[in-house]
Amino acid sequence: MIPVNTPEIDIDQLAEAVRGGAAIIDVREPGEYVAGHVPGAVLIPMGQLPGRVAELYQGAPVYVVCASGNRSATMTHFLRNAGFDAYSVASGTSGWARSGRPVVGGHAPRA
């Protein structure tokens, strides 16, 4: 279930944030990330994010992306409760790819 009142942005707003060098956290699993992710997105799987929150900078917005928007909404809610200015990306990486924007594949970073 998606948390109520979780701030969400659309793919066009994410594209603008990407152009501005925004922090993008991909909360999918490594196999999903390797198959294709938003350029510049950093992989921190949903199950690891609570233990890795100290890696994130609190002084700027954080954009959270998953496959379709469900996991990102949950983790955005978590990050906002932890004091971050976080936004879930509606339609996720799937929507990004469907919009014709490029996805990057390759190896997942070592955790």
Q: 9, 66, 75, 89: which is the annotated catalytic residue?
A: 66
Q: Count of CB atoms within 10 A of residue 21's CB?
A: 9
CA dist 65 and 93 (Å) reads: 7
Does 59 reside within a domain?
yes
Percentage, residues of the chain above pLDDT 70:
93
Residue owning tokens 């233990």? 51
Q: What is the spatial distance between Cα 1 and Cα 101, in angstroms, rounded to a whole number?
A: 28
Paired residues of 64 in beta bridges: 25, 88
CATH number at residue 54: 3.40.250.10
Q: What is the pLDDT of residue 69?
A: 87
pLDDT tens digits for range 13-66: 999 999 999 999 999 999 999 999 999 999 999 999 999 999 999 999 999 999
**What range does the domain containing 61 cover?**
8-98
User: Would you say residue 46 lies in a domain?
Assistant: yes
pTM for this model (two decimals): 0.92
Number of Cβ within 10 Å of residue 50's Cβ equals 12
66 catalytically annotated = yes
